[in-house]
Amino acid sequence: MTDALLYLSRDDIRALSIPPAAAREAVLQGFRDYATGLTRSLPKSTLTLGPGHGFQAMTAASSAQGIATVKWVAMAPVAAGSPLPAVSALICVSDYETGQPLAVLDGDEITLIRTAAISAAAASLLASANPRTIGFVGCGLQAHAHLAAFRDLFPGLTNALMLSRSRSSAERLAEAAGAAGLAADILDDADALLARSDIVISMVPGAAGMTPFLDARRLKPTALAVAVDTGRSWKPETLPAFNLLATDSLEQSRAPYGVDGNPVSTVAFQHDLIALAGAPHPTAAAGRSLFAFRGVAFADLALAHLAVAQARAQGLGTVLPR
């Protein structure tokens, strides 16, 4: 029987400095393992209490990685400028064969890395070869994680555009983009950002009274839109302007989600990353593409496995008695 647990705090996971390329490849391999049956996972179970408010459980097990994981996620609306996070999570890791608990991880940092890694993995399969301008709609922590992931994936990026309800968060992201070597521009017009961007990443949190404001028809003819917000910030009636619509898992989602938390009726997903990771779409970069996703448990498992392995190798974390 295992008589100790490895606990990895937020600071521990940050100290690992997991490279974006390693995170992206771990996630892609996770999708490949799922496609071949080496990993099993359940669609996330969600208890919705209101707009942007609820709880989720995400469970996966991998014979390839030798672990099983469950992530517990809590979501709550926050006011602009609030120091409280909109999402809080923990991950429990167990041995695949014996079921014995092995580790507990702060899920917030893993979620940041995992989410950006999924977005970048999709972009590696769907985006044009040489994007120059990336637009961020929403400039919180996820935007910073995505900036690092996409700067690593596309070193030819030269410009970053920011649109946010919080001027201070936009300024912080612009400063980070400048430090990464990009020319940064803060905008207050969504149509202008869409018209100038080769890649657009929307990360708008759910809130009561929110109105969709992004118009897919304003995008460049070969742009990629990544909807970390599941699609809630995009006007549903404009979504048919996308030539290709994909998600992480068709088992979990059949269409982008609207502001009411329900799938939209104007379009349906045609592809998912489970299939695309093994056989990329041959013409995706020739038109407008949308990748909107809710997150899958086996991607969290892939990043948790990577984090625990690196922490053990580096001697990081706290050993706790059971």
**Length reported for the chain:** 322
Q: How many domains does the chain have?
A: 2
Same domain? For 277 and 194 the reply is yes
Q: CA neighbours within 13 Å on the CB side: how many for 87?
A: 24
Do 205 and 238 lie in one domain? The reply is yes
Between the alpha carbon of residue 232 and those of residues 28, 56, 86, 122, 260, the distances in Å are: 25, 18, 16, 19, 8
* Cα distance between residue 195 and residue 185, in whole Å: 14
Looking at the fold, whether 18 and 79 belong to one and the same domain comes out as yes
Q: Are residues 135 and 182 in the same domain?
A: yes
- Distance from C-alpha of 146 to C-alpha of 209, rounded to nearest angstrom: 27
Residue 296 CA to its chain's centroid (Å): 10
CATH of residue 96's domain is 3.30.1780.10
Q: Is 149 found in the same domain as 100? A: no
Same domain, 186 and 309: no
Domain presence at residue 288 = yes
User: Do residues 20 and 153 make contact, with C-beta atoms less than 8 angstroms apart?
Assistant: yes
Q: What is the pLDDT of residues 171-227, one digit of tens each?
A: 999 999 999 999 999 999 999 999 999 999 999 987 778 899 999 999 999 999 999
Residue 191 lies in a domain: yes
Low-confidence ranges of the chain (pLDDT < 70): 1-2
The answer to whether residue 255 is domain-embedded is yes
Say what percent of the chain tops pLDDT 70.
99
Supply the range of the domain harboring residue 230.
Answer: 128-292
Reported in sequence order, the residue ranges of 169-276 that DSSP labels E, i.e. its strands, are: 183-186, 199-202, 224-227, 244-247, 271-272
101 and 146 assigned to the same domain = no
Torsion of CA 225, 229, 235, 236, to 10 degrees: 90
Give the CATH number, domain containing residue 202: 3.40.50.720
pLDDT at 179: 97
pLDDT tens per residue across span 270-289: 999 999 999 888 877 789 99
Judged by DSSP in three states, 70 sits in: strand
Answer whether residue 118 is part of any domain: no
Q: Are residues 142 and 288 in the same domain?
A: yes
Distance CA 297, CA 248 (A): 11
Which residue from 84, 205, 48 is spatially nearest to 142, judged by alpha carbons? 205
Indicate whether 136 and 93 sit together in one domain: no
DSSP assignment string, 141-161: HHHHHHHHHHHHH-TT--EEE
The pTM of this model reads 0.94
199 and 256 share a domain? yes
- Residue 312's SS3 state is helix
Who's near 287: CB < 8 A, 6+ residues apart?
Answer: 221, 222, 242, 243, 244
Give the single-character DSSP code of 257.
B
Confirm whether 120 is domain-assigned: no
Inside any domain, residue 315: yes
Say if 116 falls within a structural domain: no
For the chain, the average pLDDT equals 94
Would you state the pLDDT for residue 206? 78
68 & 208 share domain? no
Do the domain assignments include residue 121?
Answer: no
Cα–Cα distance measured from residue 215 to residue 235, given in angstroms and rounded to the nearest whole number: 6
- The token pair that represents 60 in the structure block: 């996966």
Statement to judge: residues 183 and 247 lie in one domain = yes
Helical (H) or strand (E) element with 67 = strand 67-75
Cα-based distances in Å from 259 to 51, 236, 263: 8, 10, 9
Transcribe 8-41 into DSSP letters: E-HHHHHHH---HHHHHHHHHHHHHHHHTTSEEE
